[in-house]
Amino acid sequence: MMNTLLGQNFRFGYYDIPPADRMRAIRSAGFDSVMFWWGDDFESVDGSRYDLYDTAVRFGLQCTTVHFPSVHSDYLWYDDSRGDGYTEAFLTAIDDCGERNIGHVVIHLTRSLITPPPNEIGVRNFGRMLSAAEKRGVKIAVENTRFLNYNRLIYGRYKSEMLGFCYDCGHNNCYTPTESPLTEFGAALCTTHIHDNDGTGDQHRPMGDGTVNYDSVFSGLKALGARELNLESYDNKWYSLHGRQTMDEYLRMSYTLLHERATKYGFELD
């Protein structure tokens, strides 16, 4: 049986510390893997995605999941240069990840409240992206965000081993608390985003610093055989201990919380 990876998102705070030192600290805290943004949005602070990947490998961290930029996720649904450009950028990301054996690229189907209604243009653009993913052997991990009807449309139109699901428990808690995306889309589960909030917004607090029901989350993930438990939590302004921990203290705390939950629910760990 394959062990479950315990991962940490690279953008967890402490941005004044050099990227290599942040990466080293993630590994030193005990994490097996690291996630990062597969775009240039944060290059001025984090360096390039290519350098981050190389640094992760150098420190012995696996990189099985990256996040495609969500800043223009609404572009997927437009029949103009926006839709074409967004699709082409995703095709480039798929090539990048295929070359590096990165197995999962997380994508949002919506952007905040400004995304057009689900339409055939978006379905067509997504089909191009999925075809490229199939050729490269890279799985598109569609994330649950505000509106699950977009997910339903895509999963209803495409059946592919390269069409996966990224379960985000924080989004579930604040955006769709009366729905169960893990139950609805869990058959396609391939990766996760684990973080907390108080139900009023997408705050990305550490586990236990909000109202997410982690007993429900982890029992559901265990039942589905999850192989990646990735924290997408930050030391940010919503965190109750914001600014009161060193980077190493924060990461050790985060790792301990995740490891304890994974152990409690019987995940196979190193």
pLDDT tens per residue across span 216-245: 999 999 999 999 999 999 999 999 999 999
Alpha-carbon distance of 205 to 217, in angstroms, equals: 16
pLDDT at 3: 93
pLDDT at 2: 78
pLDDT at 91 over 90: yes
Compute how many other C-beta atoms are within 10 angstroms of the C-beta atom of residue 193: 27
Q: Are 36 and 52 in contact (CB under 8 A)?
A: yes
Average pLDDT over residues 16-43: 97
Q: Are 222 and 185 in contact (CB under 8 A)?
A: no
User: Average model confidence (pLDDT) for the chain?
Assistant: 97
Average pLDDT over residues 47-63: 98
Give per-residue burial for 60-78: e unless 16+ CB within 10 Å, then b.
ebbbbbbbbbbeebbbbbb
pLDDT at 96: 98
pLDDT at 159: 96
**Which residue blocks in 115-209 are alpha helix, DSSP H?**
120-136, 148-157, 169-174, 181-185
Alpha-carbon distance of 191 to 226, in angstroms, equals: 7
What digits encode the pLDDT tens for the residues 155-167? 999 999 999 999 9
pLDDT band at 44; cut points 50, 70, 90:
very high
pLDDT at 104 over 70: yes
pLDDT at 27 over 80: yes
pLDDT at 270: 81
Residues 6+ apart with CB under 8 A from 240: 205, 209
Average pLDDT over residues 180-208: 98
Give per-residue burial for 96-135: e unless 16+ CB within 10 Å, then b.
bbbebebbbbbbbbbbeeebeebeeebbebbeebbebbbe
Alpha-carbon distance of 104 to 162, in angstroms, equals: 9
Q: What is the DSSP letter of 60?
A: T
Put residue 141 in one of left, alpha, beta given phi > 0 → left and psi -120 to 50 → alpha.
beta
pLDDT at 179 over 70: yes
CA distances to 19, 36, 90, 99, 191 from 52, in Å: 8, 8, 19, 15, 20
Phi and psi at 155, nearest 5°, equal -65, -30
Residues 6+ apart with CB under 8 A from 188: 142, 155, 163, 164, 165
Q: Using CA atoms of 141, 146, 150, 155 in order, give the dihedral in degrees to the nearest 10.
A: 40
pLDDT at 136 over 70: yes
pLDDT at 1 over 60: no
